[in-house]
Structure 1
Amino acid sequence: MDASVINQAASVGESASHHRTLWRWHFYAGLFVMPLLIVLAITGTLYCFQPQIEPLIYRDRMVVEPQAAPRLSAQILLAKAAASEPRDAVPTTAQISTDPRRSSEFVFRLPSGENESVFVDPYTGAVLGTLSVEHRLMKQIRELHRGLMLGKTGELAMELAGCWTLVMIGTGIALWWPKAKQKGGMWAPRLALRGRAWWRDLHAVGGIWLAIGAVFFVLSGLPWSGSWGKQFKALATSAQLGYPKGAWGDAHVRSAKPAAGEHAMHGMRMDDLPLQQTPWAVGLTPVPGAATHDAQAARIPLDAVIALAASQGVTDGYSIALPKTTEGVYTVSYFPADPKAERTLHVDQYSGKLLTDIAYDDYGRVAQWISYGTSLHMGRYFGLANQIVCAMISLGLAAMAVTGFVMWWKRRPQRALGAPARPARRAPMRAWRSGLAMLGVVFPLMGLTMLVVWVSDRLVFGRSTRS
């Protein structure tokens, strides 16, 4: 037989082996990711529109009629809210807004251990109602998005879903490229096709258009994940690439050096405070303690903290964590749409002294990138247009999961998983193996599951078939 014919046959066989291997890994990634991707897409889209949704469903508590009369002081409004709560309820957080149409919101820790928001009319002081923080719709949607409301197990599952999405995208692009060049349907689906071929074109072309957005969503979401994200935070901190190293001048943080009696609050960090959200870059920074005062020392009013924040350029849309002990401080957390405006202030509860002031310029380079990624991921950075783009990408990914399911359903054998047959010849695919190995090193939990899939594929699922 002619050598060229033999070489050509070998080349075709190797190409088929490559395709079969990639298809098999794409199948396994999709099998795991598909249901979780739908949950992520729906919850992510809803959470993206939180600023519009909450005032609609909680209008009786969140929205007030603007008045010409001046607003009551924040301290008076806090007292009105406290008077409506059980005697042992502890105020933990004040949400500060200057919108004339929004009520004032204060969060209390109840004796039962739950948290409850109290909404007060800022013009009359009338209590408009309460809302459980834990059962608030957007809180539950966020918990579904981050961990299926299953605690640590759910967080790990969602983290793995993000990592396996990268495998699904990589293998999907590798499957699409050669066939699209050979048969058309490269950038637009061929609508004249019928049956499974039509679904395949829709799935492949749609996936290509969504690939960049999907990769961005995964990479910008993983720093907030429960396992890898926390490890990455620690690494960024130790390498001084993420967080400011700490208060009181350890990094480029504008902080007052503690006087005698001032100290950090027993290892408490920003992530430990009862705040809805804090900037990623300050989560592990320590919370300083107030200077020691005698039992007769008076706490400065909430309005003084608001005035101090305004003097530092923080005027609207932020939270204040209230001191709960004699050693506590007021903490102002500003998490706006523009990351460059992020700000964290710690204020002595007795003297009103500014103990720590952390701004965007104090972050490490990695933390600055993540701040921008977070703002874009949440649909906040460029307003409604950002929300719409995020929704289109999210719902598009959900559609990809549905089309993938339809394709599997149409080709599945009876009483079998329906995974693509494993090729008899093992393709070299050194670049792909190296890429998967690197992915497993960067995301160790992902690496472990890839090993499990590989072993299961060899020992459990299917037999080798000739390519």
Structure 2
Amino acid sequence: MSPRIEELPQNDHDPTGAAPDRTTSAGPVSEHLGPVRSWAGLRHLLVRLHFYAGVLVAPFLLVAALTGLAYTLAPQLDALVYGDQLRVERVGGETRPLAEQIAAARSAHPEGTTMSVTTPPGPEDTTRVVLSVPELGDKQRTVFVDPYTAEVQGELTTWFGSTPLTTWLDDLHRNLHLGETGRLYSEVAASWLWVIVAGGLVLWLGRSRGRRAKSARGVLLPDRTAGGVRRTRSWHAATGVWLALGLLFLSATGLTWSQHAGERFGQALDATNGRAPALDTALPGGDAPAGDHAEHAEHGGSGGEAGDADPAAFAAALAAARGAGLDGTVEVTPPADPASAWVVAQTDNVWPVHYDQVAVDTTTGEVVSHNRWAGYPVLAKLSKLGVQGHMGVLFGIVNQIVLAVIALGLTAVIIWGYRMWWQRRPTRTDRTALAGKAPERGAWRRLPLTALVLGIPAVAALCWALPVLGVTLIGFLMVDAMLGAARRIRTT
């Protein structure tokens, strides 16, 4: 007959309130029969996983939180640094024809070819004429034109529409300016963030000490009456509960365009037909237009031997798109070759978003195909909206404030976590240490066979879907095994 399994009280030495290392909540251990298997052993496994993940991954999360906090301020910093280019001096009156604005930009900057033109997002914004300049590589030269006077207000080297400052902050957050290798840091953070959050929630909600632990107040608010490590733990956990939904959202959306997990996500979208539909830009008949139309189509090319795009063709494509119902700010892109149509796409990222697209034959002024945002697959919509929410643009200033609060909250949670580790250190004169002892080893040996049979394949599948999580998890296990072996040698 197996011994009785009892839940032990919390203690001040474990960051989650689990049983101390010298005792197991799975009951006494027999020297002959080995540890008693129980689902209570799962808690001890979560305690150890949460501890090691917190200690080893928290530096990556802290860097991601601080760089993300800086990125949330990008719109305000852009307005401060590049206000002369982004804003018009006076608002009012009729705007100049688009062709005249493009001609003014090309007169001031004849280098390269016209890559696209973006209409002003608001009445106080400038028109953006984007030039493809070979010596800039994957960046572009954007010329800013006052739509009311057709005067050029300046130019910037941009990257997919982002100013130099926003591009710098974006690279800092994504890869620490270390290129593709640096992207591993952000993927480590995103891969482990949801694990740490989910494990912390289970441990905090599953604690069993006192009435306060079972009340909503005890879950959502810190215990100000406690002292020492208990007080720090309550602030750490209660703040984590408030941030949990936002942190899980950032983890999921960050993984969707990460280097390795993002590839797996793309494969899932392909398998479920969840990608956004591609706009059909082929002109009817598939051949280049003849006569006068052929000359017009050549000017519509994106550059190269065909020459630069005709400013009048931009205006014609815009007029056709407006007639098809594309309002608000749009981006007009010339065709890649004479057999392709012009593309006009809405670029309004603020809720409610507008992402309709049309392909226009400027020789006839007709819309030859269209993509409507309403017809996107659900997964494509969620992916697109998730990215915009992660970047802080989906709900405007509210989105920025929420992300800033989450970043500051995560920073505080990490600091409290390390403080708990320090508070748990031995302080006796005959036994001191810089930090507390790690939770008990060997918790997996007390798991029920059912948990092992179901859990191991599930973890293997998860590590396949999130390769960086799998590699780092193996690394943690190797480090833990080496530390255990070194400890046994010292003890012997």
- 5+ residue gaps, structure 2, are 7-23, 29-37, 301-311, 426-431
Query: Quick one: which amino acid aligns to residue 240 of structure 2?
Result: G
Within 5 Å, give how 1:19-98 maps onto structure 2: 19-85=43-109, 87-97=110-120
Structure 1: distance between partners of 2:329 and 2:194? 35
Candidates 214, 223, 226, aligned match of 2:247: 214
* Match 2:285 to one of 255, 259, 268: 259
How large is the RMSD of aligned CA atoms in angstroms?
3.5
> Aligned match of 1:394 in 390, 407, 411?
407
Q: Does 1:103 align with 2:122?
A: no
Aligned to 1:171: 199
1:157-213 Cα offsets, whole Å, 9 max, x none, are 312321111111122123212336446443211123333332221111111221122
**TM superposition shift of 1:428:** 0.7
- Please tell me whether the aligned partners of residues 45 and 394 of structure 1 are also in contact (alpha carbons under 8 angstroms): yes
What is the CA–CA distance in structure 2 between the aligned matches of 1:143 and 1:349, rounded to whole Å? 38
Does residue 405 (structure 1) correspond to residue 418 (structure 2)? The answer is yes
Q: What CA distance in whole angstroms lies between the structure 2 residues aligned with 1:339 and 1:447?
A: 38
Corresponding pairs, count: 429
CA contact (8 A) 1:22 1:175 kept: yes
Per the TM alignment, residue 402 of structure 1 is displaced from its structure 2 partner at its CA by 2.2
How far off is 1:101 after superposition? 1.2
Alignment of 1:106-117 (within 5 A): 106-113=129-136, 114-117=139-142
Aligned partner of residue 65 in structure 1, secondary structure: coil
Counterpart pick for 1:312 among 324, 330, 337: 324
Change (3 A) 1:414 1:388: same
- Tell me, yes or no, if the aligned pair for 2:276 and 2:377 is still in contact at 8 Å: yes
1:233 to 1:428, Cα distance in 2 relative to 1, 3 A: same
Aligned to 1:448: 471
Structure 1: distance between partners of 2:295 and 2:50: 66
| Between 420-429 and 117-126, the greater mean CA deviation after superposition | 420-429
Letter in 1 for 2:331: S
- Superimposed CA distance per residue, residues 78-105 of structure 1 (whole angstroms, 9 cap, x where no aligned partner): 22222222x4322222221152211222
Letter of the 1:399 counterpart: A
Which residue number corresponds to residue 132 of structure 1? 157
What aligned pairs does 1:322-401 form with structure 2 within 5 A after superposition?
322-323=334-335, 326=338, 329-336=341-348, 337-338=350-351, 341-348=354-361, 350-401=363-414
Deviations 1:12-51 (A, max 9, x none): 4568854443222112322343233233333434444544
Q: Mark the CA change 1:211 to 1:232 in structure 2 (over 3 Å): closer, same or farther.
A: same
TM-score (norm 2): 0.75
| Structure of greater Rg | 2
Quick one: structure 1 residues 259 and 398, their matched pair in 2 at CA, closer, same or farther if it must change by over 3 Å? farther
Where 1:426 maps in the other structure, the secondary structure is: helix
The Cα offsets for residues 62-93 of structure 1, whole Å up to 9 and x where unpaired, read as 111334442222222122222222x4322222
Mapped contact 1:26–1:171 kept (Cα < 8 A):
yes
Tell me the residue number matched to 1:242: 275
Structure-2 separation of matches of 1:461 and 1:106: 62
- Structure 2 counterparts to residues 188-207 of structure 1, below 5 A: 188-207=221-240
Distance 1:414 1:323, change over 3 A: farther
Relative to structure 1, the CA distance from residue 450 to residue 80 in structure 2 (aligned partners, 3 Å threshold; closer, same or farther) is same
Structure 1 position 119 matched with structure 2 position 147: no
Instruction: Give yes or no for contact 2:69–2:404 (8 Å, CA) kept in 1.
Output: yes
Change (3 A) 1:291 1:400: farther
Aligned-pair distance for 1:417?
9.6
1:324 CA drift (Å): 5.8
How many Å separate the matches in 1 of 2:345 and 2:290? 21
Q: Which residue of 2 aligns with 1:148?
A: 176
CA contact (8 A) 2:424 2:435 kept: no
| Structure 2 residue aligned with 1:427 | 446
Show structure 1 runs of 5+ residues with no match: 249-254, 263-289
Task: Indicate whether 1:159 and 2:192 are aligned.
Answer: no
- Is the CA contact (8 Å cut-off) linking 1:421 and 1:463 kept in structure 2? no
Q: Assess if the C-alpha contact under 8 Å between 2:423 and 2:435 holds in 1.
A: no
* Separation of aligned partners in 1, 2:3 and 2:342: 79
**Pairing partner for 2:263 from 206, 230, 246:** 230
Q: Is the 8 A contact 1:319 1:334 kept in 2?
A: yes
Answer whether contact 2:330 2:346 (CA < 8 A) is retained.
Answer: yes
Q: Percent identity of the aligned residues?
A: 29
Tell me by how many angstroms 1:394 deviates: 2.8
Secondary structure (helix, strand or coil) at the match of 1:243 reads: coil
Q: Which residue of 2 aligns with 1:272?
A: none
- Measured in 1, the distance between the counterparts of 2:116 and 2:43 equals 56
How far the C-alpha of 1:120 sits from its partner, in A, is 1.7
Task: Give the SS at the match of 2:195.
Answer: helix
Task: Give the whole-Å Cα distance in 2 for the aligned partners of 1:165 and 1:302.
Answer: 46
Per-residue deviation at 1:434?
6.0
What is the SS of the residue equivalent to 2:344? Answer: strand
Distance 2:208 2:378 in 1: 39
1:277 corresponds to: none
Aligned to 1:251: none
SS of aligned partner of 1:72 = coil
**Superposition deviation, residue 215 in structure 1:** 1.0
Q: 1:411 to 1:67 in 2, by over 3 A?
A: same
Distance in 1, matches of 2:486 and 2:203, equals 22
- Aligned AA (1:178): G
Contact 1:342 1:360 in 2 (8 A): yes
Residue 415 (structure 1) shift:
7.3
Query: Separation in 2 of the partners of 1:215 and 1:206?
Result: 14
CA contact (8 A) 2:320 2:366 kept: no
CA contact (8 A) 2:145 2:154 kept: yes
